[in-house]
């Protein structure tokens, strides 16, 4: 970008009128910034980057509200909700009291074999070597997701969902506690240590026939254009080890 163009753009920006933000919105934003927990630890600069990246939608919404507040009514301002996306998963946060326990992950329906599943989807299906061959495998009707289940092993019931690239989120999760940031093979990942609600969405954004259910501890990571979701009664270290063994 040339220097004259930069100068002209700056002059144009300075000449544009900007309405004063409403006092109550300004106070709400400042209070939110002051109380928002930032996971800062020595030598953990990546966590700060992750904090900003994961909440970029919420931050953009707040900044847009400050600039365009004159065009918003109080009910619209009150309807702002915090959420962010990670691959095929949308995370929504709730301030309500969350569930204290969750049942074991549901077993995949087992309608196909692993080899059949690999021919039915447009992405490479992986299996964690730490778990061995799955006891059951299922492919969604639209062939964008593969689910696997393991039962009877030392880790207890475990479920792995793999979702190929798509425009709309496949899973919508409502969490009641902080999402933890970790890594799988050097790539960013999300760890949800508390029970939370999960809904499976259709490509148009509507809920599928499956009702919302409670999910337990969950690790979410990405491999290329594929989003993977591991659920079970696992601690974070074991979940990451299983994820890193996926081949």
**Domain end call among 29, 60, 76:** 76
106, part of any domain: yes
Mean pLDDT (the chain, rounded): 76
Range of the domain at 214: 82-245
30 by Cβ neighbours in 10 Å (0-12 / 13-18 / 19+) ranks as exposed
**Measured CA distances, 228 to 76, 155, 203, 219, 234 (Å):** 35, 18, 18, 8, 16
* 116 and 222 inside one domain: yes
Same domain, 151 and 206: yes
pLDDT of residue 57: 47
Q: What angle do CA 193, 196, 41 make, to 5 degrees?
A: 35
| Number of structural domains found in the chain | 2
Q: Do 126 and 227 reside in the same domain of the chain?
A: yes
| 117 and 66 in a common domain | no
Q: Where is pLDDT greater, at 36 or 106?
A: 106
Are 168 and 69 contained in the same domain?
Answer: no
Residues 72 and 138 in one domain: no
Q: What are the phi and psi torsion angles at 29 (to 5°)?
A: -65, -45
* Contact criterion met (CB below 8 Å) for 32 and 25: no
What is the C-alpha to C-alpha distance for residues 205 and 110, in angstroms, rounded to an integer? 26
Q: Comparing 124-133, 136-145, 185-194, 211-220, which segment has the lowest mean pLDDT? A: 211-220
What pLDDT, on a 0 to 100 scale, did the predictor assign at position 33? Answer: 57
Q: Are residues 72 and 86 part of one domain?
A: no
Asked whether residue 61 falls in the same domain as residue 111, the answer is no
Tens digit of pLDDT for each residue in 114-168? 999 999 999 999 999 999 999 999 999 889 999 999 998 999 999 999 999 876 7
- Tell me the pTM: 0.64
């Amino acid at each position: 970008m040339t220097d004259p163009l930069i100068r002209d753009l700056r002059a144009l920006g300075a000449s544009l009128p900007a309405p004063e933000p409403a006092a109550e919105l300004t106070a709400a934003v400042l209070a939110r910034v002051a109380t928002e927990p930032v996971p800062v630890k020595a030598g953990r600069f990546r966590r700060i980057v992750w904090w900003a990246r994961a909440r970029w939608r919420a931050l953009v919404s707040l900044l847009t509200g400050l600039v365009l507040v004159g065009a918003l009514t109080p009910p619209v301002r009150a309807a702002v909700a915090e959420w962010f996306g990670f691959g095929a998963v949308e995370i929504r946060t709730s301030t309500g009291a969350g569930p204290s326990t969750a049942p074991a992950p549901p077993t995949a329906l087992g309608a196909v074999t692993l080899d059949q599943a690999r021919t039915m989807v447009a992405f490479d299906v992986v299996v964690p070597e730490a778990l061995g061959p799955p006891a059951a495998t299922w492919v969604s009707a639209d062939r964008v997701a593969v689910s696997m289940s393991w039962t009877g092993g030392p880790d207890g019931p475990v479920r792995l969902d793999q979702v190929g690239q798509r425009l709309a989120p496949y899973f919508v999760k409502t969490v009641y506690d902080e999402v933890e940031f970790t890594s799988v093979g050097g790539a960013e990942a999300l760890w949800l240590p508390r029970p939370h609600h999960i809904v499976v969405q259709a490509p148009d954004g509507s809920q599928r026939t499956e009702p919302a259910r409670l999910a337990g501890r969950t690790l979410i990571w990405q491999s290329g254009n594929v989003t993977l979701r591991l659920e079970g009664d696992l601690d974070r270290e074991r979940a990451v080890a299983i994820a890193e063994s996926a081949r």
